Amino acid sequence: MAEPIALTALALDAAIGWPGALYRRIGHPVGLFARVIGACETLWNRPERSDAIRRALGVATILLLILIAGGTGWIAQHLLLAYLSPWGWLAVALLAWPALAQRSLFDHVRPVAKALQAGDLPAAREAVGMIVGRDTASLDEPGIARAAIESLAESFCDGVVAPLFWLLLLGLPGVWAYKAINTADSMIGHREPRWRAFGWAAARTDDLLNLLPARLSGLLLCLAGAGGWRTLWRDHGNHASPNAGWPEAAMAGALGLRLVGPIAYDGVMHAKPWIGEGRTDANAGDIARALRLYVRACLLLWGIAGAVAWVR
């Protein structure tokens, strides 16, 4: 039953995303996780506590998130399939739909290309600042374009492939437990002193849950781009993350670009290694190419989900 649920959720997301009107009225389910994480961080991540205690409380935060997200997902899926037969699966698909971000990701990256194409660097910096964590105020056109393409590649895993993977594998509890942990990683899974101990469990759990989806993301991007294999195998380890390097290296290789490199965060320049061996002067046209590659990779993912449904 997981496959028609997954395909329906994919179709809903591709068609309408998460509408702005709906977001303004009820927000997004991820916002609930963010509030739980924020409350735990405020109560438990106190500087006077030892790193060992803060790490243990970080583990407790992750277990609480799994209990809330996975437990609620399991109860909802069980009740809907049991009492709304034969249409319970459609209700489950509606609940899984917000966990996917195909349309949202496309709609956030495309304005960056449009602003660059119009020669409006301030608007491009503002648009890319909504999807990346690095400093954007001084980015030039190639820096803005590379940032957008890198975010598109990494978020293809976090926002599309990984949620679908866990939806297919474990159903509604799997996809929402993944989204809760991924949200925790983005909020507290950092190496700065404030979060290093408390966010350790969030970062390591997120790494584990993305292990297979990240590699699948890289393979799909190379297949969709009909190339990039050499860069994928050679440069995926150039990224600080054990997972993000796979889709970013695949994107770099497929587009013939060099991505990442030196990046500034909070006014501090970090000398990150380059991924890829192509041009560094990315532009609006390269973002458009990356978006077309992304759409083809999403279609391949649809094909995989359909094949799994047919086999089962």
Model confidence pLDDT, tens digit, residues 88-118: 999 999 999 999 999 999 999 999 999 999 9
> What is the per-residue pLDDT for 171?
94
> What is the per-residue pLDDT for 2?
58
Per-residue 3-state assignment (H helix, E strand, C coil) for the chain: CHHHHHHHHHHHHHHHCCCHHHHHHHCCHHHHHHHHHHHHHHHHCCCCCCHHHHHHHHHHHHHHHHHHHHHHHHHHHHHHHHHCCCCHHHHHHHHHHHHCCHHHHHHHHHHHHHHHHCCCHHHHHHHHHCCCCCCCCCCCHHHHHHHHHHHHHHHHHHHHHHHHHHHHHHHHHHHHHHHHHHHHHHHHCCCCCCCCCCCHHHHHHHHHHCHHHHHHHHHHHHHHHCCCHHHHHHHHHHCCCCCCHHHHHHHHHHHCECEECCEEECCEEECCCEECCCECCCCHHHHHHHHHHHHHHHHHHHHHHHHHHHHC
Report the mean per-residue pLDDT for the chain: 93
Indicate the pTM of the whole model: 0.94
**What is the pLDDT confidence band of residue 307, given thresholds at 50, 70 and 90?**
confident
**Domain residue extents for the chain:** 2-311
